[in-house]
Amino acid sequence: MKKKTTKKTSPTSSIIVFFIICGALMAIWEHFSAIIIFLLALAIVAGVIYLTYILSHKNKANHSAPPPPNNDETDYLTLEVQFDQKKPTVHVKASTETKDDDLEIEFVRLSTSGDDNVCPMCAQFEGKTFRVADAPPTPLCPSCACAYNYYFKNDLPASTIISCKEDFFFPAKCTATFFKHQRAVYQEKNIIEQIRMCEEDIEKLPEFMAPYLSAGFPAPAALVCRDLLPDLYMRLGEWDHAEEAIQKCIDAKAYSPDDGSAELKAFISYKRISTEALSYIQQNPGCLQRNIYKAFPYEGMEREQLKYFLRYSQQVRKIKHGNTNELYPSVPLPKITVISKKELKH
């Protein structure tokens, strides 16, 4: 049998009915204006009662609703990564209390830039996973573009192989300085400051190259103290300092797998051509640049070296003359004295 259900009458409707009956009786005995006043009072009272009724039911519904489940997987985490001497240090903060084991960063995986210019020092670490304490310090080379990927303790796939640092060749500690100067030297406009930074690197060049030689790696493709320092000295006409810089690079095997003999040969040729051209300009101040190429009809590499000298040498002053330049010897610069760090300390 179906149970009969009875609708509960709300207090609001009962009061409204009562007032309507009272109003009808008053209409019989009182004047019309009394009816208008009554109806306004009725509307105000009914509105207050209705709002009170709605709010009370809403509060009951809120108190009866079950609390949301506390799912640990939806907790918000804040990951703070700090570097102490380029070593990854990770701190994790949680908005709710969770187990410490679930928040512990224990592994890092290193990724390179992935292009054809990755040096062998960086390439050996591509895709390798290490414990945080064993991770190789970055930068790994002067042009390093490597980055760490961080993993929670229980976040790695079961098939992941944890690499051992003893199986790899780590860069020298001075690599961070080479990395810094690799960019700073080219951004610096003052040639003396450029030389100072390069000289600081070239004094540490044997230490820097040691891991490359032990691993049988070729020297980095870009190395500012090797690539730029001799040229900076040659622009100033400091031929002895330029040759000394090349010799230091040869001694440190910084041209590996080459022996540096090609660089030394090119230096000797450039010095001869520059000296001849500068002597001609000193004897013929104001001569036109286009006539230099007629006076010295070099070909091939020697002609390119002459062009380079006239374009970049600070021993020559140029004044625009139509579509060429008048050439004058520059005022001689004071001799550069290279002071080592050891001398500075004393």
Q: What's the start-to-end Cα distance of the chain, in Å?
A: 110
Cα–Cα distance between 40 and 201 in angstroms, integer?
94
Check if the beta carbon of residue 192 is closer than 8 Å to that of residue 235. Answer: no
Q: Which stretches does DSSP call E strand in the chain?
A: 77-84, 87-94, 105-111, 129-131, 147-152, 287-288, 316-321, 324-329
Task: Give residue 73's pLDDT band: very low, low, confident or very high (50, 70, 90).
Answer: very low
What own/partner pairs with CB < 8 Å and gap ≥ 24 does 132-136 have? 132/88, 132/89, 132/90, 132/105, 132/106, 132/107, 132/108, 134/163, 134/164, 134/165, 135/87, 135/88, 135/108, 135/110, 136/110, 136/165, 136/168, 136/170, 136/171
Domain segments of the chain as ranges: 75-166, 175-345
Decide if pLDDT at 197 tops 90.
yes
239-251 and 261-283 helices cross at what angle (nearest 10)?
A: 180
| Nearest residue to 163 via CA among 126, 130, 138, 121 | 130
Sign of the C-alpha dihedral, residues 250, 256, 259, 264?
A: negative
- pLDDT score, position 307: 95
Question: 């010095």: which residue's tokens?
Answer: 271
- Summary mean pLDDT of the chain: 80
Would the CA dihedral through 96, 101, 102, 105 be positive or negative? positive
The crossing angle, in degrees rounded to 10, of helices 261-283 and 301-312 is 60
Can you say whether the dihedral through the CA atoms of 293, 296, 300, 302 is positive or negative? negative
Q: Would you tell me the crossing angle of helices 205-215 and 239-251 to the nearest 10 degrees? A: 30
> Is 50 exceeded by the pLDDT of residue 3?
no
Answer yes or no: is pLDDT of 98 > 50. Answer: no
Give residue 104's pLDDT: 73
Single pTM value for the model = 0.67
Please report the pLDDT score of residue 188 as a whole number: 95
Identify which has the larger pLDDT, 152 or 187.
187
Q: Containing H/E element for 207?
A: helix 205-215
Q: Stretch 20-26: mean pLDDT, rounded?
A: 63
Q: Strand, helix or coil at 91?
A: strand
**φ and ψ at residue 109, rounded to 5 degrees:** -125, 130
Contact between 236 and 336 under an 8 Å Cβ cutoff? The reply is: yes
Q: Is the pLDDT of residue 222 over 50?
A: yes
Model confidence pLDDT, tens digit, residues 203-216: 999 999 999 999 99
User: pLDDT tens across 41-72, in order?
Assistant: 777 777 777 777 676 665 554 444 444 444 44
pLDDT digit string (tens) for 123-175? Answer: 999 999 999 989 998 999 999 999 988 888 788 888 888 999 999 999 999 99
Q: Are 181 and 197 in contact (CB under 8 A)?
A: yes
What pLDDT was estimated at residue 97? Answer: 44
Mean local confidence (pLDDT), 167-190? 95
- In terms of Cα–Cα distance, which of 45, 120, 133 is closest to 84? 133
Percent of the chain topping pLDDT 70: 70
